[in-house]
Structures are given as C-alpha cells and as structure tokens.
C-alpha cells in the first residue's frame, strides 16, 4: 500500500483496503486525470482519506512517478535530554525541520544539515529511520513528487534554537509529548502520521 500526501489529503493506492481505514472518497482509475485530481486535493481544506483501489498498486505508483518530477528531501524528529521534541512553525502550520537533499549528499547527512540550518543546532546522535513519505505539491506550475527520509535524532542538553527566518520559519520550540496537542491541532496529516508512528515505535 502506498500513502501519498497532497496538503490535507491522504491518497492511498492499495489492493486490499484495511478495515480500520476510513475512506472519504474513492478515486476511479478509469479516465483518471492526475492534474484534475491534484488540483481538487489542493483546494480541499479539511483532512480526508482518498483511495485508489487497484490490483497492481506498484504499477499505478510507477505511473505517478513517471508523470511527476521527483525531488528527494530529508529531515528529523529531534529529541533533547529533557525528553522534549523540536518543532518549527512555518507558513502558519507546525512542522518538522526538513529540506532538499543536495547533489551527492546522502539522506542522513542532508537531514543533519537541514536541522542545523533551520534551527541552529548540532545533532549529537542520528538514530534509526522513522519513515519515508511521499508528498505532492505544485512548484513553478508543475506537479512535484517529494520523497522525504525522516530520522530519529538526539541532542545533548537543551540547546537554544535559532529559527531560519529566511525559510519562513517564525518559531522553533521544544515540546514534550504532553504538549503535542497544540501541534496536532494545526499541522499536516503527514506530520500527524509521523508523530503517531513515533509513538507506536
């Protein structure tokens, strides 16, 4: 099963639909126009789950890859010694630090660099990968598929944070799990799923 994010939409491409998955809209592959679908999803302001059910999810996903520009990025969920986690506020939403992987750069190095650039801290320990996600968005009138590698990270102490204002980051904060509700009430489905994934791990 593939899960792709388009702003507030989770688009699932799967053969078998899990009983626990609530579907808001079924998408018919016959006559599917990706541009129309993505534009519709982009206009949706409420979290929803959309589904493409197919006997060959791999083929449909490869079709998607072929029609879009692929960009790879990396980021992290950073924990400090006090057990609080790093969040940033960017363009009106809570988010996690991440950014594009430079040419010749590994996902791990890119994730460390992005945390440093966006929040002004050095990560002391890069742990296991948390997830790989796919996100579709529009850039220069073209649709882009972004694959992001997310890592668990640790820092010693509680370092002071310096949000990268030129990247539209207006705030960087440490929040304990008991304080995550303020993030969950104003973030993207992708970030919600990452946090849930972390809690389950």
**In this structure, are 144 and 176 located in the same domain?**
yes
Q: Average of pLDDT values for 39-51?
A: 91
Alpha-helical runs (H) found in 44-146: 57-67, 107-119
- 30: pLDDT strictly greater than 80: yes
- Confidence (pLDDT) at 132: 96
- 95: pLDDT strictly greater than 90: yes
Of the listed ranges 40-44, 68-72, 91-95, 117-121, the least confidently predicted one is 40-44
Tell me the three state secondary structure of residue 40.
Answer: helix
- Confidence (pLDDT) at 138: 87
Tell me how many domains the chain contains.
2
Question: Two tokens at 59?
Answer: 């083929």
Q: Which residues, at least 6 apart from 196, have a Cβ–Cβ distance to it below 8 Å?
A: none
pLDDT band at residue 142 using 50, 70 and 90 as cut-offs? confident
Q: CATH number for the domain including 172? A: 3.90.79.10
**In this structure, are 115 and 178 located in the same domain?**
yes
pLDDT band at residue 125 using 50, 70 and 90 as cut-offs? very high
Q: Which residues, at least 6 apart from 97, have a Cβ–Cβ distance to it below 8 Å?
A: 75, 76, 78, 86, 88, 114, 115, 118, 119
Of 114, 120, 125, nearest to 79 by C-alpha is 125
End-to-end CA distance of the chain: 20
Q: Average of pLDDT values for 30-46?
A: 86
Residue owning tokens 């990270």: 153
Chosen domain end from 49, 67, 85: 67
- Confidence (pLDDT) at 76: 96
**In this structure, are 119 and 55 located in the same domain?**
no
Question: Two tokens at 165?
Answer: 């204002």
Query: What is the rounded CA–CA span in Å between residue 47 and residue 33?
Result: 21
Tell me the three state secondary structure of residue 187.
Answer: coil
Residue owning tokens 């589904």: 51
**In this structure, are 36 and 125 located in the same domain?**
no
For residue 55, the enclosing domain spans 2-67
Compute, in degrees rounded to 10, the torsion defined by CA atoms 184, 185, 188, 190. 30
**In this structure, are 53 and 89 located in the same domain?**
no
Query: What is the rounded CA–CA span in Å between residue 26 and residue 50?
Result: 6
Q: If you count them, how many residues does the chain have?
A: 201
- Confidence (pLDDT) at 65: 85
Chosen domain end from 52, 67, 82: 67
- Confidence (pLDDT) at 63: 87
pLDDT per position as a tens digit, 144-157: 999 999 999 999 99
pLDDT band at residue 88 using 50, 70 and 90 as cut-offs? very high
Of 171, 99, 181, nearest to 135 by C-alpha is 99
At residue 187's C-alpha, the angle toward residues 199 and 152, to 5°, is 40
């Amino acid at each position: 099963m593939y899960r792709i994010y388009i702003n507030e939409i989770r688009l699932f491409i799967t053969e078998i639909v899990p009983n626990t998955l609530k579907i808001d809209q079924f998408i018919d592959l016959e006559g599917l126009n990706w541009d129309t679908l993505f534009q519709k999803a982009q206009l949706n302001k409420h979290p929803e789950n959309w589904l493409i059910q197919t006997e060959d999810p791999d083929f449909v996903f490869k079709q998607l890859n072929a029609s879009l520009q692929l960009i790879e990025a990396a980021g992290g969920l950073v924990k400090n010694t006090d057990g609080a986690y790093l969040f940033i506020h960017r363009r009106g939403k809570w988010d996690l630090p991440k950014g594009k992987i430079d040419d010749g750069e590994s996902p791990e190095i890119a994730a460390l660099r992005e945390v440093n650039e966006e929040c002004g801290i050095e990560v002391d320990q890069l742990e296991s990968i948390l997830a790989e996600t796919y996100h579709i968005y529009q850039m220069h009138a073209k649709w882009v598929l972004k694959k992001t590698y997310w890592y668990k990270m640790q820092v010693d102490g509680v370092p002071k944070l310096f949000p990268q204002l030129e990247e539209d980051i207006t705030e960087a904060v440490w929040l304990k799990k008991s304080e995550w509700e303020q993030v969950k009430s104003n973030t993207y489905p992708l970030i919600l799923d990452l946090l849930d994934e972390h809690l389950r791990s």
